[in-house]
Amino acid sequence: MKRVIVMIIICLFLIGCDNNVKNKQNISIDNDSNNKVSQVTIYLFHWNQCIHCQEEKEWLEQMDNKYDYLNVNYYEVTEFEDFVSQIRSKLGIEDDYVPLTVIGDQYFVGFSGSTKTKINKLIDSYKGKEYCDIINYIENNKDVDECHKINEQFN
């Protein structure tokens, strides 16, 4: 009887682990209450009608599929207007241009070859390290200056 119970527990554990692997994009590693993460999370705020947004979205999808330590979240700006407005306000972004990419506490407006290079460098600087995810801070009404201080070592 004990063997049956142990086998059931092992099967449930393996099924749970398998689901997490298949749904990589939904995994978020939260190591403590300060929202520090070791997986690199990228937020892309885009508009479906924007050519540059579509180019970046395709590029990020390739990156997300290539590297298992990436977690890319996509937000269509017309569906998340209040959220995007709040982010722009907290980050001091005065224009409404897209794409808007946020990684850690850094952001990029627009998409070009130089933007790819900057995003790659930032991913490399955060990869495998605990850093502050400013979007989590904004969502939880925390002080974004605190997040900037945490990430000073990476910038």
Position 58 scores a pLDDT of 97
**Torsion angles phi and psi, residue 143, rounded to 5:** -70, 115
Q: Does any domain span residue 6?
A: no
> Tokens 């201080």 correspond to what residue?
149
pLDDT tier for residue 141 given thresholds of 50, 70 and 90: very high
Residue 25 has pLDDT above 50, yes or no: no
Position 35 scores a pLDDT of 47
What's the half-sphere exposure (Cβ side, CA atoms, 13 Å) at 37?
22
Residue 61 has pLDDT above 60, yes or no: yes
CA dist 85 and 90 (Å) reads 9
pLDDT digits over 29-48, tens only?
333 444 444 699 999 999 99
More confident residue, 37 or 101: 101
pTM for the full predicted model: 0.74
Q: Does any domain span residue 64?
A: yes
Q: Which domain holds residue 109?
A: 28-154
Position 38 scores a pLDDT of 65
Domains held by the chain: number: 1
Q: Does any domain span residue 19?
A: no
Q: Which residues contact 124 (CB under 8 A, 6 or more apart)?
A: none
CA dist 28 and 30 (Å) reads 6
Q: Does any domain span residue 12?
A: no
CATH, residue 107? 3.40.30.10
For the chain, percent of residues with pLDDT exceeding 70: 75
Q: Does any domain span residue 124?
A: yes
